[in-house]
Chains A and B, each alone.
Chain A
Amino acid sequence: KAGVTQTPRYLIKTRGQQVTLSCSPISGHRSVSWYQQTPGQGLQFLFEYFSETQRNKGNFPGRFSGRQFSNSRSEMNVSTLELGDSALYLCASSYGLAGVDTQYFGPGTRLTVL
């Protein structure tokens, strides 16, 4: 089975621009979660989508948004980029069943905001 894929792998943007990151989950997985990783704050949960619905959201401003398509692929969007948005953005997929199921991560998108 193919793993979680994320595109692009690297991105350089300037302040004020917007960016869209893409995540394709493992085949059969219906849940996609997004995380932001920075040296200062560590790994922080952004949001989770399951069957095209946002199931949970972390503590991030409204500039961060996402969506999920019928094939479970997900995108996240960051508008009006700030320098502090520079981070590694990781997405993870799982079956999304009740109870605990393991999340598998993609390689990440490294975003640099200048």
Chain B
Amino acid sequence: AQKITQTQPGMFVQEKEAVTLDCTYDTSDPSYGLFWYKQPSSGEMIFLIYQGSYDQQNATEGRYSLNFQKARKSANLVISASQLGDSAMYFCAMREVGTHNQGGKLIFGQGTELSVKP
């Protein structure tokens, strides 16, 4: 069954340092997309970065990069040069679009709460 696992409930990082948030996934669908969202205390989910299952290169968006290891079924988010405004919940999500296509359904992990220290 499709599943997303985020094993770090909470993490601390010093301002200006890099941090890696872990995400592993489970699916038998060969075609899928992986997403990371940020949720500040206000509640809105903010899209950060996307990786397709057939993408050969790791996705990058500004200070965010996705370390995609398909054989290990992991899609870790790397935030470089952390800022105080990065303090938030971070969710990894997956969408299957191949043999198990379920339309727009996103499956989310439990999230990691990141705290950036000054």
Size bracket of the A interface: 20 to 34
| Chain A proximity of B60: nearest CB distance (Å) | 15
| Chain A proximity of B46: nearest CB distance (Å) | 8
Q: A92 and B45: CB pair below 8 A? A: yes
B29-37, B68-76, B78-86: which one contacts chain A?
A: B29-37
Q: A42 and B108: CB pair below 8 A? A: yes
CB-nearest residue of chain B to A107 = B44
CB-nearest residue of chain B to A100 = B33
Check if A33 is an interface residue, CB within 8 A of chain B.
yes
Q: A48 and B47: CB pair below 8 A? A: no
Chain A residues, CB < 8 A from B118: none
Task: Give residues 48-66 of A contacting B (CB, 8 Å).
Answer: 48, 50, 55-56, 58
If over half of A's interface residues share one DSSP class (helix, strand or loop), that class is named, otherwise mixed; here it is: strand
Task: Give residues 28-84 of A contacting B (CB, 8 Å).
Answer: 31, 33, 35, 42-43, 45, 48, 50, 55-56, 58
How long is the Cα–Cα vector from A94 to B50 in the complex, in angstroms? 14
Q: A45 and B105: CB pair below 8 A? A: yes
Contact with A along B93-111 (1 / 0, CB 8 A): 1010100001111111111
How long is the Cα–Cα vector from A94 to B106 in the complex, in angstroms? 12
Q: A50 and B103: CB pair below 8 A? A: yes
CB-nearest residue of chain B to A48 = B104
A sample of 17 more A-B contacts (CB under 8 A), given A45-B105, A45-B107, A90-B45, is: A45-B106, A48-B104, A55-B104, A88-B43, A90-B43, A92-B106, A94-B104, A96-B104, A99-B97, A100-B52, A100-B95, A102-B47, A102-B50, A103-B35, A103-B106, A104-B47, A105-B46
